[in-house]
Homo-oligomer: A and B are copies of this chain.
Amino acid sequence: MMAGMTGTRWLDTSEQCIWRSYLAATSLLEDRLDREISAASGLSVIEYGILAHLSEAEGRRMRMSALADTVLVSKSRLSHQVARLERDGHVRREVCPDDRRGAFAVLTDEGYELLVSIAPVHVDGVRTHLFDQLEPEQVQQLAEITRRLVAHLRELPEVVRCPSARSGAGAK
């Protein structure tokens, strides 16, 4: 209603088509890589990302907040996720000496082993399903496109999920 009253700039046919293509590409790719990793290791792609980022960090450890920002998940979700990884022995928590509110997630040796064993699967997937499908110049184009989008999206203020809208379930 409000939003569309005057100036909504609708998408033309070509733009709609591009948007659908974008949606299909991104969701198929994510789904594919997730399944490949999961089939090889039982980990989700998010869990893989957590282990991968930890493995690259100083002392194979990161503060929970920093890790959440890096992997792009909420702190709550990371907390649950790390709890599961800890239960399975891939990660361990340590208290932070400098700031006793803080916690480190630390990659265990088992976690490292697992990561090493599945990294090739993931890398192969990214290569086969993304880079190999594109011409070198398209890869550069994609780099610039995503760079711009990230720059824009990171600037945006937060959206609150449930403002005036309607009654009934405001969940999700």
B166, A28: Cβ atoms closer than 8 Å: no
Contact of A142 among B29, B38, B145 (CB under 8 A): B145
In chain A between 107 and 157, which residues have their CB closer than 8 angstroms to a CB of chain B? 117, 119-121, 123-124, 126-127, 129-131, 133-134, 138-139, 141-150, 152-154, 156
Main secondary structure of the interface of A (DSSP, over half): helix
Please name all residues of chain B whose beta carbon is closer than 8 Å to the beta carbon of A60 when the two chains form the complex: none
Which A positions have Cβ atoms within 8 angstroms of B? 1, 3-4, 8-11, 14-15, 17-19, 21-32, 35-36, 38-44, 72, 88, 117, 119-121, 123-124, 126-127, 129-131, 133-134, 138-139, 141-150, 152-154, 156, 159-163, 165-166, 168-172
Q: Are A121 and B3 in contact (CB under 8 A)?
A: yes
Of the candidates B28, B43, B168, B172, the one whose C-beta lies within 8 Å of that of A38 is B172
Q: Contacts A39-B162, A41-B166 known; A148 to B123 CB distance under 8 Å?
A: no
B120 touches A3 (CB 8 A): yes
A-B contact pairs, 7 of them (CB 8 A): A24-B153, A25-B146, A25-B150, A40-B163, A42-B162, A134-B145, A134-B149
Q: Inside 8 A of A27's CB, which chain B residues have their CB?
A: 72
Given A4-B121, A119-B4, A153-B28, verify A19-B166 contact (CB < 8 Å).
no
